[in-house]
Amino acid sequence: MFLDKLCKTNPNLIQIAVHMHQQKQIMPDTYVVDVDQFIANAKAILQKANEQNIELYYMLKQIGRNPYLAMELEKVGYKGAVVVDFKEAEVMMKYHLHIAHAGHLVQIPSMMINQLVEYGCDYITVYSYEKLVEINEAAKKVGISQKICIRVIGENDRIYSGQTAGFYLDQLEELVQKAKNLTHIEIAGVDNFPCFLYDETTKQIEAQENLFTVLKAKKILEGLGCRIQNVNAPSATCVHTLELMKQYPEITSAEPGHGLSGTTPYHVDHDTEEIPSILYLSEVSHVLDDHAYIYGGGYYRRGHIQNALVGTSYEGLVKDSVILPDMDSIDYHFGLENPHHVGDSAILCFRYQIFVTRSDVCLIKGIHSGIPEILGVYDSLGGKK
């Protein structure tokens, strides 16, 4: 999906990945990250957000909840993390990182509410009254008032399978009335997902019906006496998306994820400020019936994998088509259309979600200064190896 763009904009990353693999410094089934470019992308997005007074919460589940990158993002000025689920919250707490937003796509489990509230979290999203009660009790124990975002849902919103949740607009009045008895929470925000998406037909990022549901909910909640301080509008956040947000001045926060690595769908078809800063490295395992097979483990079924570059040196890489495993099979290997030599490096670049794989993450700095250095290798869930 991103291979041609990577070749055009960041060939040094490819060259270093192949070299280090051939020198037996990096194992196959590893996502290799150009840390310097990743941070440069992050700074460009942050600068645009600051110009518009939009807070940015970094989203790192797609890059394996990596704590090193999280620390670097906070150093350059990001407010904190958005943790898409409670296991990501555990990683951020383990490394003493700031949690700006939790609970949006996956609510915090009952067993963990006390721990998260005591640790500190700017906003916690809820989509059930029962969860609101639990948070109120936890906040009461530590003597704070916890800010709450309400996840809302409209009849015509785009909701991904596995993410079905939210309060309908006509349920908000009842929720606010019931919440008046909860003395240690403050309904201070509203959110939905996805608020912006890339349209393959128009080749543009466009506001979704979900965003308009959020804006309607803000008005309703304010009419009910809530002081809404945070209108959170996630998905496809990058410099270009932030430009679009100027049309909606109510938006106060966004959550760059793939924008940080220059790998939103928008980045395939457009020259952007963000440059791809990640690739997937594998190795030819064997050849059978004139097809080479490379090690798998990093497959994400929405990755749009198409091609690989194969060889032992940057100059000798050849492009080949990838044969994906069936959807109901484990990705032990990816096939290639043609035979190649066992031990050859294979470079792929596609839409990724490392936290749902069994891949490793190798962080490299100094690629563009000619002094590449491996900073560390992490597992897919943020643990250092």
CA angle 363, 369, 373 (to 5 degrees): 30
Chain centroid to Cα 125, Å, comes to 17
Tens digits of residue pLDDT in 302-340: 888 999 999 999 999 999 999 999 988 999 999 999 999
* Spatial CA neighbour of 33 closest among 335, 312, 380: 380
What is the per-residue pLDDT for 162?
Answer: 93
> Which pTM value belongs to this model?
0.96
pLDDT (tens, 9 = 90+) of the chain, 385 residues, equals: 899 999 999 999 999 999 999 999 999 999 999 999 999 999 999 999 999 999 999 999 999 999 999 999 999 999 999 999 999 999 999 999 999 999 999 999 999 999 999 999 999 999 999 999 999 999 999 999 999 999 999 999 999 999 999 999 999 999 999 999 999 999 999 999 999 999 999 999 999 999 999 999 999 999 999 999 999 999 999 999 999 999 999 999 999 999 999 999 999 999 999 999 999 999 999 999 999 999 999 998 888 899 999 999 999 999 999 999 998 899 999 999 999 999 999 999 999 999 999 999 999 999 999 999 999 999 999 999 9
Residue 68 CB burial class (10 angstroms; 0-12, 13-18, ≥19): middle
* Spatial CA neighbour of 121 closest among 90, 157, 151: 90
Domain boundaries, the chain: 3-34+272-369, 38-260
Q: What is the DSSP letter of 65?
A: -
Which fold would CATH assign to domain 3-34+272-369? Answer: Lyase, Ornithine Decarboxylase; Chain A, domain 1 (2.40.37)
Four-residue CA torsion sign, 106, 112, 115, 117:
positive
Q: Which CATH number fits domain 38-260: 3.40.1360.10, 3.20.20.10, 3.10.450.40, 3.40.50.300?
A: 3.20.20.10
